[in-house]
Amino acid sequence: MIAKNPAMTWIFVAGLLAGCVTEPPPLPQHNPADPQARAHTKAPANLLARDETTLAIEQRLSVTEGEAKSAEKMEHDMQNMPSMQHGEMKMEGQSQMQHGRDIESEKKAAADEMKKTSDEMKATSDAMKRKSDELKTEGAIYTCPMHPQVRSDKPGKCPICGMTLVKKEKAHENH
């Protein structure tokens, strides 16, 4: 039909070219495709902020680390003393023997403190895991066996077919 009427063909081509040359419609304000749009410069809130438990554990760890470094330095200093040989003390006099016992008792106290801190950290970790597990089990979802799009946070009947809603385990959920 267009080939039979050359005037119509030229009008069609002119219309087609005119449509390609016109300006595109303006974009809505703040549209990301708009080159004039400005991105927000405000930094997002820190989503990984530390809670009181984490801060308390870190503080306790730093104290324990300081004690361990102090004990390690003390042991290193003792080995570099001229009266020390193969880890045995060659001291003379009662006061030097007492000093050696003090160091050993300090080492034992530091080791006991580190063990206590380790036990406390394990207990805290276990408590946090239990709490996490509790949160995972809360908020069960009930769904219809025939209409899985029907979801409820409590038992009841399906509004579509009237069947009893069945509890769905969250671990098996993909949503």
Tell me the per-residue pLDDT of 80-104, one tens digit each, with 9 for 90 and over. Answer: 666 554 444 445 555 566 667 788 8
**Tally of CB atoms within 10 A around 30:** 11
> Could you tell me how far CA 91 lies from the centroid of its own chain?
54
The pLDDT score that the predictor gives to residue 97 is 63
With contact defined as beta carbons under 8 Å apart, do 166 and 144 qualify?
yes
The pLDDT score that the predictor gives to residue 37 is 67
The pLDDT score that the predictor gives to residue 114 is 94
The pLDDT score that the predictor gives to residue 49 is 66
Report, as ranges of residue numbers, the positions in the chain whose pLDDT lies below 50: 85-90, 171-175
Take residue 68 and report the two structure tokens written for it.
Answer: 């361990």
The pLDDT score that the predictor gives to residue 3 is 58
Q: How far apart are CA 114 and CA 117, in angstroms?
A: 5
